[in-house]
Amino acid sequence: MTTDRDDADPRDGRDESVNQRMDRNWIEMLQETRITQTGTQILSGFLLTIVFQPTFADLEPFDQNVYLCLVVASTLTTALALAPVHLHRSLFRHHSKPVLVQASHLLLRAALLGLAVVMVGAVLLIVDVATGDRRTALVVAGGVAAMLVMLASLPAVVRNDRVRDWLEQSATDRGQS
């Protein structure tokens, strides 16, 4: 006779079935998705208003092209961030939670990549228009891109055993003081 706990993952230290773990993962991902969706929608909304400003026609072609690329990128990013909701609605009550969680995970990762592209592009556009110095704009946008790459690599750093041990010891030390 099998029990509800037979499919528990003994490595994660939790006494939960695969279904319970998928439910928990889905709930955690929804929280992350809400933040990503809100950010991409607000950024897209602001971008959409720029074209209606009287000075838009005065922008250099480079800046207009960057702007148009940003509108497309932010629209695609918003769609990627919203896609898990559509997927959930489509798979609802089809007993596909593991597929839903994995596919949504990939969609959310793609949305985060798209958001990074839009953020770097927005910095490029703003610095170029504000300073009139394209080289400065490219350097600043490149710096932002480098910082985002460093932040994106943080999980790999934290998974390193020595770093994880140091972080756990640091957390334990703070808990004792």
pLDDT digit string, tens, across residues 59-74: 999 999 999 999 999 9
Range of the domain at 127: 16-176
Residue 155 within a domain:
yes
Residue 76 within a domain:
yes
Residue 53 within a domain:
yes
Residue 87 within a domain:
yes
Q: Average pLDDT of 67-92? A: 89
Q: How many domains does the chain have?
A: 1
Q: What is the DSSP string of the chain?
A: ---TTTT--GGGT----HHHHHHHHHHHHHHHHHHHHHHHHHHHHHHHHHTTSGGGGGS-HHHHHHHHHHHHHHHHHHHHHHHHHHHHHHHTTSS-HHHHHHHHHHHHHHHHHHHHHHHHHHHHHHHHHHH--HHHHHHHHHHHHHHHHHHHTHHHHHHSHHHHHHHHHHHHHHHH-
Q: pTM of the predicted model, to two decimals?
A: 0.77
176 pLDDT exceeds 80?
A: no
Residue 30 within a domain:
yes
pLDDT digit string, tens, across residues 107-153: 999 999 999 999 999 999 999 999 999 999 999 999 999 999 999 99
